[in-house]
Amino acid sequence: MTALNHLTIAAALDGLAAKDFSAVELATAHVEAMEQAKALNAFITATPDRAIDQAKASDERRAKGEARPLDGIPLAIKDLFCTEGVLTTAASHILDGFVPRYESTVSANLWRDGAVMLGKANLDEFAMGSANITSYYGPVRNPWTRSDDAEAKLVPGGSSGGSATAVAARLALGATGTDTGGSIRQPASFTGIVGMKPTYGRCSRWGIVAFASSLDQAGPMTRTVRDAALMLTAMAGFDPKDSTSIDRPVPDFAAALSGDVRGLKVGIPKEYRVDGMPQAIEDLWARGRAWLEAAGAEVVDITLPHTQYALPTYYIVAPAEASSNLARYDGVRYGLRVPGNSLIEMYENTRGEGFGQEVKRRVMIGTYVLSAGYYDAYYLKAQKVRQLIRDDFDRAFEACDVILTPTAPSGAFALGDKQDDPVAMYLNDVFTVPANLAGLPGISVPAGLDAQGLPLGLQLIGRAFDEETVFRAAGVLEGAAGFDATPSLMV
Amino acid sequence: MSLDEATVARIAHLARIKLDPKDAPALAGDLSRILSFVEQLDAVDTSAVEPMTSPSPQALRWRTDQVSDGRIQDKVLANAPDRVDGFFAVPKVVE
């Protein structure tokens, strides 16, 4: 029998229903795997006792015939989701000791549906980063290694790097992530798993530590497309506590996985062919196109003319919103306080010591672009270009139903690379940021390996609130790719 | 746009972040690089475009003007670094 921590969510639900094993056994297998994989640093806080308690309750429900949709499924929760009674850090020094007295809506939805919490996954500080190297709690290691240098420590991508490593290394059956500019999809690509960012408004942002409120969206990270569909069905839903939450029914996303893409129009945007992209990614993209064509889809060339402006737009809008959102960390209501002789000095000392370098850079860029005299030239300009980027997608979706692109311009790189120049790091998100700016759903599906034996993902972007088409096409892509490689540091 | 160290110090103060003077030159370089990068947007004609503030298709919802929460002072104060008599406590601001 497959080790319990190697199952998919779908298979684990079947096994639990058939009484092949109990939720306690399933949780225990994961708690042990987490113990063995501590060197990966995927978790900031492990919650083994809570996992076993929740698993016991799950087994009791199942025995009474009251099993819920995800009953007994052990998950990692990105440490950006507030969890009642459990330390929540956002991987920042400034939230030292913060224990929320409330539960985020998305995690509460998962517990409502019977899921079990294994712990709080590591991430880039305040979700700002693309390599999970900005965490106050240290970097996360990717469980994949290079074929020519197994000793080199690779990054898992970011910001949901702990979630990605936990799922890829078989420490959790699934994990929550959040995606502001690619923070679910890029680490999914780097670790060979599935990562889905739903439409803006699909999942409630309430109780998630805010980074950039007009871009942030929660989503699932899993080992299969079906598992992502199952998890998103539980996570999504209208929430009056988030003013941008959308009041519309949540489909049964797994039911959309018909395997049939005949007649589906798949757009290939010519602007996503960037200089210096490895040949392996070019080739994989061409294969993805051929796979969908062979399954009966129609491939059409499309244009998204403002693509090159997406990253510069993002690096004005996101820091501006972050500088406003992070104003709340002032040493008064929660977390770290560093004393000062006056109130202002206390604020400055607390924030100077509590924020890491990347967070300081972004808060200061945001402060600058919102400051008197620069607001129109930077912030207002970026908001206008953002509209043009969205108009590009609206026009493209007149000619196609879903867009196929690479997820990231490279595979996983080594810890220490790209650290001298913040802009070089930002280029990781060149293919993922546009979907955030336009508020569209996007998924990364593991589709192949590069020359170093590292996983690469393909991305599908869909129309707003049409996750079902995205899942349907992703399921076909997954089936054709037949990705079954596993990381060398898997437990 | 290239930022000098005095401007960086001014932004740090606006952002209420204490800046170690020895970090200022590197930070000025980083912020200047980021600003040069985002200034690519100057090439885009946006004269006929309205700014986009949210991807959400809906206007903000109205709700009934009634209390739906409250009497949770202990929870609100539970994580405060300092509190006195049921209030958040801060360094003296009025002489």
Mutate to test the interface with B, among A306, A346, A384 (most CBs of B within 10 A): A384
Distance in Å, alpha carbon of A94 to nearest chain B alpha carbon: 12
The closest alpha carbon to A107, from A69, A75, A60, belongs to: A75
pLDDT at position A419: 74
Q: Residue A70 and residue A93: Cα distance in Å, rounded?
A: 33
In chain A, the residue whose alpha carbon lies closest to the alpha carbon of B28 is A361
CA dist list (Å): A420 to A142, A424, A425, A429: 21, 8, 9, 17
User: What DSSP designation does B46 have?
Assistant: -
pLDDT at position A424: 82
Between B31, B41, B53, which is nearest A309 by CB?
B41
Secondary structure E strands in A216-297? 218-222, 265-269
Structure ipTM:
0.96
In chain B, the residue whose alpha carbon lies closest to the alpha carbon of A319 is B34
For chain B, which ranges sit under pLDDT 50? none
The closest alpha carbon to B77, from A403, A151, A99, belongs to: A99
pLDDT at position A423: 85
Interface subset of A 348-377, CB within 8 angstroms of B: 348-349, 351-353, 355, 360-361, 363-365, 367-369, 371
Q: Residue A459 and residue A467: Cα distance in Å, rounded?
A: 13
The closest alpha carbon to A434, from A181, A130, A218, belongs to: A181
Q: Cis (ω within 30 of 0) for the bond into A159? A: yes
For chain A, which ranges sit under pLDDT 70? none
Residue with tokens 């991987």: A91
pLDDT at position A275: 82
- Per residue in A120-156, pLDDT tens? 999 999 999 999 999 999 999 999 999 999 999 999 9
Interface subset of A 135-164, CB within 8 angstroms of B: none
pLDDT at position A274: 85
pTM: 0.98
The closest alpha carbon to A11, from A224, A219, A164, A243, belongs to: A224
Residue with tokens 């908001």: A383
Sign of CA dihedral A125, A448, A255, A440: positive
Query: Parallel, antiparallel, or unpaired for β A116-121 and A74-78?
Result: parallel
Between A243, A311, A364, which is nearest B15 by CB?
A364
Identity at B79, one-letter amino acid code: N
pLDDT at position A388: 98
pLDDT at position A416: 87
Q: Residue A287 and residue A451: Cα distance in Å, rounded?
A: 16
CB B1: neighbour CB atoms within 10 A? 14
- Per residue in A295-305, pLDDT tens? 999 999 999 99
